[in-house]
Structure 1
Amino acid sequence: MSDDVPVLRMESVRKTFGGSVVLRDVDLEVAPHTVTALIGASGSGKSTLLRCAGLLEDVDDGAIWLDGEEITDPRADRDAVRRRIGVVFQAYNLFPHMTVLENITLAPRRVHRVPRARAEQQARELLERLGLGARAGEYPDRLSGGQQQRAAIARALAVRPRLLLLDEITAALDPELVGEVLDVVRDLKGDGMTMLLATHEMGFAREVADQVCFLDSGAVLERGTAEQVFGDPRQDRTRRFLRRIVEAGRL
């Protein structure tokens, strides 16, 4: 796929729940091999945007493209689209009755029909890379929160996604475990993985993001480079949000 074509493009995307507008005419492009960070207060629509991008929620209006293919077209093969997108949530969502290795090999074997031996080899390579090589045979409840989240990232990477969606992946972690998970994202950026992430870790977003989008009441109120949005925001609402973040010592 040409690097001139956005991996993800959203145009005039609108989503409501029970009469409440959660996304308001969202336009967004994510270029190949870049990281886009979604920032904003809780309830601003970040998680819903990610879920719509991953076809985990239907949009009420607008359209979404993945590698130039309109995936919101009713004729699109939604299962095939989802196989090209990796998603990691706040909650690790690992199957508790399966070992770490079984969790990671499930989708490659069942969905992509990868032979067991090759799926396990690839999973072990991922686990080694993420510092979990010795934990392959463990069950999730034997892992720390940071280890579980790294295992969840390995599971998302096991399907070799075109796009990785990360939804507040450090929100459920104790502060001392946050760094080990963010280090994984830094490494993925170095590999050229295309990522769209929602985060409250403002310093991290400023460090790794090529593009930052500030959401407010379901709308993308401001977008730009990390340097521009954090260093010289154009919108008063963005400035007020970042001022509170600074006052709270989070930036």
Structure 2
Amino acid sequence: MSLLSLSGVRKAYGDKVVLDDVSLTIDHHDVVCLIGSSGSGKSTLLRCIDLLEDIDDGVISFEGEEISDPRVDARRVRSRIGMVFQAYNLFPHLTVLENCTLAPRKVHGVSRAEAAERAMSLLSRFGLADQAAKHPDRLSGGQQQRAALVRALCNEPTLLLLDEITAALDPELVGEVLEIVRAEAAAGTTMILATHEMDFARDVATHVCFLDQGRILEQGPPSEIFTSPREERTRQFLRRVL
């Protein structure tokens, strides 16, 4: 059984169609990179998977359950999915450690001591142990994004969604965040990334999807998409960004 499947997913805001007949299958340990111009639907697709947006048509299934059914408890589904946003979205009134332990304690029922131990282990691994007692506004952008990744990983998610997580970072900070993602991919974490980092997608992804005007115009292994894309629109996009 695939971990995640989308079939005929459609999403519109009024008359503007943002996702149009999107179908995609993701297996355990896949690393799927969504590429395409800004406004092509990448972020909306991730938000629909995380049930932050309702879809207008189609089916999304996760771990064999149809999660796009409006009767599904979205909070229960999100407890198994981690999402990291471009703007970090850390709680400003909580310390880094408190940000990282909140969901394990409140959603998963993990004890305060166990949640703190797990969080500190990850913070140490990502070079943030000495920042644990600080509030997010005392951290650099790269540190905040690493803290957001730690917060997502503290829940031990089955699926990790990353939405343009390097877009708001200074160029010198992009590499340090991508190295963490690269390590998680190597460890077998299943993830879907919306990204403009083509070198990263080419090196790390198991599967690349090119989105254009809300449709997955082309998908396949990186070796195929980046060296011999079938669609002219894909070739135009890659000539611009590579």
TM range (shorter): over 0.9
Structure 2 gaps of 5+ residues are none
Q: What's the offset of the Cα at 1:76?
A: 2.2
Residue aligning to 1:249: none
Q: Which of 98, 101, 118 matches 2:97?
A: 101
User: Which whole-Å deviations, capped at 9, do the CAs of 1:147-185 have from their partners, x for residues lacking one?
Assistant: 100000000111111100000000000000000000000
Q: What's the offset of the Cα at 1:110?
A: 1.1
User: d(CA) in 2 for partners of 1:114 and 1:244?
Assistant: 47
Residue aligning to 1:164: 160
Residue aligning to 1:87: 83
Q: Which of 120, 123, 127 matches 1:127?
A: 123
Q: Which of 58, 63, 72 matches 1:62?
A: 58
Q: What's the offset of the Cα at 1:103?
A: 0.4
The share of aligned pairs that are identical, in percent, is 63
Q: What's the offset of the Cα at 1:142?
A: 1.2
User: d(CA) in 2 for partners of 1:87 and 1:140?
Assistant: 18
Q: Which of 18, 21, 26 matches 2:22?
A: 26
Residue aligning to 1:193: 189
Residue aligning to 1:239: 235
User: Which whole-Å deviations, capped at 9, do the CAs of 1:10-63 have from their partners, x for residues lacking one?
Assistant: 000000012100000000111100100000000000000000011010000001
Task: Give the letter aligned to residue 114 of structure 2.
Answer: R
Instruction: Indicate yes or no: 2:179 matched with 1:175.
Output: no
Q: Which of 209, 213, 235 matches 1:217?
A: 213
TM-score when normalising by structure 2: 0.98
Aligned residues: 242
User: d(CA) in 2 for partners of 1:110 and 1:30?
Assistant: 29
Q: What's the C-alpha RMSD, in Å, of the aligned pairs?
A: 0.7
User: d(CA) in 2 for partners of 1:30 and 1:184?
Assistant: 21
Residue aligning to 2:37: 41
User: Which whole-Å deviations, capped at 9, do the CAs of 1:206-234 have from their partners, x for residues lacking one?
Assistant: 11100000000000000000000001000
SS at match of 2:237: helix
Report runs of 4+ in structure 1 exceeding 6 Å deviation.
Answer: none
User: d(CA) in 2 for partners of 1:73 and 1:122?
Assistant: 33
User: d(CA) in 2 for partners of 1:245 and 1:74?
Assistant: 39
SS at match of 1:155: helix
User: d(CA) in 1 for partners of 2:139 and 2:64?
Assistant: 40
TM-score when normalising by structure 1: 0.95
Task: Give the letter aligned to residue 20 of structure 1.
Answer: K
User: d(CA) in 1 for partners of 2:133 and 2:203?
Assistant: 35
Where do 1:147-162 residues align within 5 Å?
Answer: 147-162=143-158
Q: What's the offset of the Cα at 1:143?
A: 0.9
Q: Which stretch of structure 1 is more off in the superposition, 135-144 or 218-227?
A: 135-144
User: d(CA) in 1 for partners of 2:118 and 2:132?
Assistant: 12
SS at match of 1:91: coil
Structure 1 gaps of 5+ residues are 247-251
Q: What's the offset of the Cα at 1:74?
A: 2.8
User: d(CA) in 2 for partners of 1:195 and 1:6?
Assistant: 13
Instruction: Indicate yes or no: 2:226 matched with 1:230.
Output: yes
